[in-house]
Amino acid sequence: MTTIAFLGTGVMGAPMAVNIAKAGFEVRAWNRTRAKAEPLAEHGVVVVDTPREAVDGADVVVTMLADGPGVDDAVGAAQLENGQLWLQMSTVGVEWAAALGRVADKAGAVYVDAPVLGTRKPAEAGALVVLASGPSDVHDRCAPVFDAVGARTVWLGEAGTASKVKLAANAWVLSLTNALAESIALAGSLGVDPALFLEAIKGGAMDTPYAHAKGAQMIADEHPAAFSARLAAKDARLVLEAGGDAVDLAGARATLAHLDAAVEAGFGEEDLAVLYRAVRKS
């Protein structure tokens, strides 16, 4: 049985670790706050106290943490071993993806940059899209783990490429969420039921299931977290850093401003759709 070390059991990491265990792997999981990982024991996951306990002798290491510094701290404490396969599935941005690759090289580990597309429900269903990049000779070794957490794996070339594609996808979904909030808030300010906007786009070229899911949240003003506003703001910053002076990412800047306002108002752990409150103003 292949042993998987899983570092980071938050909203996304916990169901991913469970699905890997259900696929027949031995999973040792660590989380900075152990209490959040304890429920995984009911699914056959061994919960440990330190990253080192998780990684010691494991065949594969998976990291699913909030950001680059968090991943760096965890793998530093874990002491990656020569020949271990490291699937780095956190969203860390361009610079950290490269830096973590250098950490792997120094340890002699095999580094695969593999962030995912999807939020809590797809993670629970094992239906994420895995964006993978790394050495071509490890695709087969990665496949059983990726298949356990995802409905589809897209290989994109050398390590680091996947993190770049993930930022492009994030720029789209963040701006889409912000634009949706603006349309719903505008409809309300004009004295019409915002649901009429969703009905108007239904089934047309402008329609997307995402608009109806997040739009319903905004209209009800209820935002259970599938992807928190705090982490969405972190990702928006990564998008803007990656664009630098080369791209005018006005949509991402507007989204970040609304996310920051929502976080500062105390809504950081609610779903990113809560930015609607900042757009609406009153």
CATH (domain of 204) = 1.10.1040.10
- In terms of Cα–Cα distance, which of 133, 120, 3, 140 is closest to 61? 3
Q: Which structural domain range is residue 175 located in? A: 164-280
User: Where would I find the H helices in 90-160?
Assistant: 93-107, 120-125, 139-149
- Check which CATH number belongs to the domain holding 56 and give it: 3.40.50.720
- Please tell me the total count of domains within the chain: 2
Residues 168-209: pLDDT tens digits?
Answer: 999 999 999 999 999 999 999 999 999 999 999 999 999 999
Confidence check: pLDDT of 91 > 70:
yes
Residues 26-50: pLDDT tens digits?
Answer: 999 999 999 999 999 999 999 999 9
Q: Does 150 share its domain with 219?
A: no
Q: Does 150 share its domain with 209?
A: no
- Whole-model pTM: value is 0.95
Residue 203: count other Cβ atoms within 10 Å of its Cβ. 7
**Which residue among 124, 158, 192 closes a domain?**
158
Dig out the tokens for 275 from the structure: 């930015």
**Which residue among 158, 180, 204 closes a domain?**
158
**Which residue among 133, 158, 183 closes a domain?**
158
Burial class (CB in 10 A: 0-12, 13-18, 19+), 162: buried
Supply the pLDDT for residue 282. 72
pLDDT mean over 156-175: 98
Q: Does 116 share its domain with 197?
A: no
Q: How far apart are CA 200 and CA 5, in angstroms?
A: 48
CB 249 within 8 Å of CB 240: yes
Q: Which helix (H) or strand (E) holds 178?
A: helix 161-189
Strand partners, 30: 7
Residues 107-153: pLDDT tens digits?
Answer: 999 999 999 999 999 999 999 999 999 999 999 999 999 999 999 99
Supply the pLDDT for residue 267. 98
Distances (CA, A) of 235 to 68, 70, 166, 239, 270: 11, 14, 10, 6, 15
Confidence check: pLDDT of 55 > 80:
yes
pLDDT band at 154 (very low <50, low <70, confident <90, very high): very high
